[in-house]
Structure 1
């Protein structure tokens, strides 16, 4: 009987260990500090809160000096399951050592999340542009790669026409159309949902290799269906990219919040467990969470 009791206790301890181990949150890092969007000191804590409220992540923040290449900006990326960029247009290059460390991190299997103006950053950094798939501004042209968008049927167009990379019209509430209903990030989302007031980026261009478009929005400027949710494979790494999220009111959209949470989980693990919430926007009604 004593031996039986010992075995049961051992099994119970193993189950308890595995359960607690499985429940241990993943580690995420938000990098910021240089962004032409002056609201970044507000939006970084917002994204931190959104990720931590899932109970899947603990989130650290690494902030670069406000101007110039910061020689002390050297996060230990290897400590994290996923890195989220809240950098923006005009950001100075990271130190070469940090660039190489980040390339090694993502290509080796690390997750990376690109939010809004982070696709404006670092036009001269070849590997970064391969990671983000599409970018804008910063002197990007046809030399950076094709324009990528879809037609009304959802067919992907790779347009090599010459021209600048990056543009947007006035901010507005625009419909987001899910193009891939089976991908873990978008599975269960309404086929169309109304995003809150935001900049709709158009004319993004870049290498766009190993890229999958999950959702689009029709630009009032180009008439094209521009990528709004997409993924990129970089080596063994998973990259989630959304051009949405211009300001705090844009990030208060439940569609943005859910997309960020699910996209970050996918970038970190390749799977998604975060549910589509009951207050997710519909085709004709926005939904926001304000604090």
Structure 2
């Protein structure tokens, strides 16, 4: 029988001590990075009778690549085979007849180039009235991200979408990525989702002015933590002198949860409001995709048939 020399055994033992076992289990999954080149959505065969979506856009703030976002939304929706999507960048003289050709309207519009600009580009009075009547008579509406950065001086628009940002009191909290708490996991839109999901390169709208007449039902919130304003985390966009411990303590809504996603009725229509979805980067992530796709379907029909995407699914934690 062959024996192992003592020196060899000691060498192996020394090597094992010097090279401890990995602390993290390496898991290989079926994965590929998100596409960085945007595809152009191709036409849909009318015989498929998909839900018809109209994205109303054409003016937005300088921080938002609305043309890129519109394209990603359209492609993402059409890939589900549930939606047929059109985009208009000219709703200045929109009509009720134009809107009634669609099952749901998605607003990706802001009237100002800069959030604080005193001058804004508004639709005509008739176009506003057409939108209100469309939803009131049963049309679906999705209010998306920058839709909340204007309309604070238009009472009926504010009531339609449920809330707006108010310069001087509302704010964009610093974190570019943050957890979103799904506080109602029984609603058709959120059923089957994890309790906490993440969004990336996004805006946390905090301290919004909620319209008292809009009876909203909150689906998801985010927490505006004072610790997130630490200048070592925020960078130069948030001047340290403006967020000292004393000033943070006095800020309204600090260390509190703030609505990010909600639903509401407006007449016979359904409104789905989602403050998330800043740009093309955030739209690559499945939790946000899940909320947008299922929320749009719900606004159009009152029901949800689309699945929760894999990275947004609930899973056992015990």
**How far apart are residue 172 of structure 1 and its match?**
2.2
Within the candidate set 239, 252, 260, 2:292 is matched to 260
List gaps (5 residues or longer) in structure 1. 1-20, 65-69, 140-163, 284-291
How far is 1:103 from its partner? 0.8
The structure with the largest alpha-carbon Rg is 2
Equivalent residue of 2:138, what SS?
coil
State the Cα distance separating 1:46 from its structure 2 match. 0.7
1:37-52 equivalences under 5 Å are 37-52=63-78
The match for 1:199 is 203
Instruction: Give yes or no for contact 2:287–2:312 (8 Å, CA) kept in 1.
Output: yes
TM-score (norm 1): 0.75
**Which residue in 1 is equivalent to 2:60?**
35
Correspondence for 1:106: 135
1:61 aligns with 2:65: no
Q: Secondary structure at the match of 1:34?
A: coil
For 1:9, the equivalent position in structure 2 comes to: none
Which SS does the other structure have where 2:76 is aligned?
helix
- Identify if the C-alpha distance between structure 1 residues 71 and 200 changes in structure 2 by more than 3 Å, giving closer, same or farther: closer
Provide the C-alpha distance between the structure 2 equivalents of 1:200 and 1:189, rounded to a whole number of angstroms: 20
Q: 2:310 aligns with which of 261, 278, 284?
A: 278
Secondary structure at the residue paired with 1:79? coil
SS of the residue aligned with 2:164? coil
Report how far residue 247 of structure 1 moved.
Answer: 1.7
The 1:98/1:72 distance shift into structure 2, 3 A limit, reads closer
Please state how far the C-alpha of 1:22 moved relative to its aligned partner.
10
Aligned counterparts, 1:1-291, within 5 A: 24-36=49-61, 37-64=63-90, 71-74=92-95, 76-88=98-110, 90=112, 91-137=120-166, 164-208=168-212, 209-221=214-226, 222-280=254-312
How big is the shift at 1:188? Answer: 0.3
Instruction: Tell me what 2:231 maps to.
Output: none
Write the distance in 1 (CA, Å) between the matches of 2:92 and 2:299. Answer: 28
Aligned length: 234
Distance in 2 (alpha carbons) for counterparts of 1:121 and 1:227: 17
Tell me the TM-score normalised to structure 2 length: 0.69
- Sort the Cα spacing of 1:58 and 1:206 in 2 relative to 1 into closer, same or farther, 3 A: same
Contact 1:232 1:238 survives alignment (8 Å): yes
Does the CA-based 8 Å contact 2:193-2:308 persist in structure 1?
yes
Contact 1:35 1:89 in 2 (8 A): yes
CA deviations on 1:182-239 (whole Å, 9 max, x unpaired) are 1000100001122223111101113142210011110135211111211111111100
Contact 1:111 1:237 in 2 (8 A): yes
CA distance in 1, matches of 2:307, 2:279: 24
